[in-house]
Amino acid sequence: MTTVTIKIDEIGAAITAMQDLSTEVQSQAAVARSASPISLPSLSDSSLGKKTRWLDDHLEDLTTRRDLAILLDKEGTGSATYSVTSDTLSSVKEMLGQELASAAASIDASSSEEDLDHIAGLLETWNEDPDVMAAMFTELGPDGTVGFMANISSAMGYGGVADPEKYTSLAEEFRTGLSTASNAPGFPAETFGEEIVRYSCAPLLTDEEQRAFSEEFGMGMNGANILTYLMQDTTYDDDFLLGAARTLDGFERMAQDGPLTAQDWYNHNGHGPLPTKDEYDGWYDDPMAAIMHNFGENPEAGLTFFTEPTDDGWNRQTYYFNDREWKADGYGGISHAVEGIGTSEANLTSDPEATTGLVSRFLDQVANSPGFNPEDAKAASPHIADLLKFYMPAVDTALRFPNEDGDGGSKSLTIDNLGTFEHYPILFSDDLDSLMQVAMGTPDGMQSIAEGTGAYQQTQVNNIAAALEANPDDPDLRMQLRDVLQRSAALQGFAEYSVGQVEIEGAESRDAQRQAFIDLVGDAAGMVPLPGADVVGDWGSKLIDFGYSQAVDLGKDAGGDAFTSEGAAATDNANDRAAAGTNRVKIQAYLALVESGVIPRDQVPDSFFENGRLINAGDIPANEMSSYAQSAMSGVSSYASNNDLEGPYRDEFLEYYGPAGE
Secondary structure of residue 256 in the 3-state scheme:
helix
The strand ranges marked E within 41-131 are 79-84
Query: Counting beta carbons within 10 angstroms of the beta carbon of residue 339, is it exposed (0 to 12), middle (13 to 18) or buried (19 or more)?
Result: buried
**Using an 8 Å Cβ cutoff, are 450 and 498 in contact?**
no
* pLDDT at residue 638, rounded to an integer: 83
521/533 Cα distance (integer angstroms): 25
* pLDDT at residue 38, rounded to an integer: 63
Beta bridge partners of 415: 419
274/219 Cα distance (integer angstroms): 13
**Using an 8 Å Cβ cutoff, are 142 and 189 in contact?**
no
* pLDDT at residue 564, rounded to an integer: 44
Sign of CA dihedral 424, 426, 429, 434: negative
pLDDT under 70 in the chain at which residues? Answer: 29, 32-33, 36-57, 159, 162, 219, 278-282, 530-572, 661-662
395/216 Cα distance (integer angstroms): 56
* pLDDT at residue 256, rounded to an integer: 84
Secondary structure of residue 420 in the 3-state scheme:
strand
Measured between alpha carbons, how far apart are the two ends of the chain, in Å? 83
For the stretch 567-585, pLDDT in tens is 555 566 778 888 888 888 8
- Kind of pairing, strands 613-614 and 419-425? unpaired
User: Domain limits of the chain?
Assistant: 2-83, 88-297, 331-439, 442-656
- Give the DSSP letter string of 313-337: ---HHHIIIIIS--TTTTTHHHHHH
* pLDDT at residue 543, rounded to an integer: 37
- DSSP state, residue 531: P
383/365 Cα distance (integer angstroms): 16
359/527 Cα distance (integer angstroms): 27
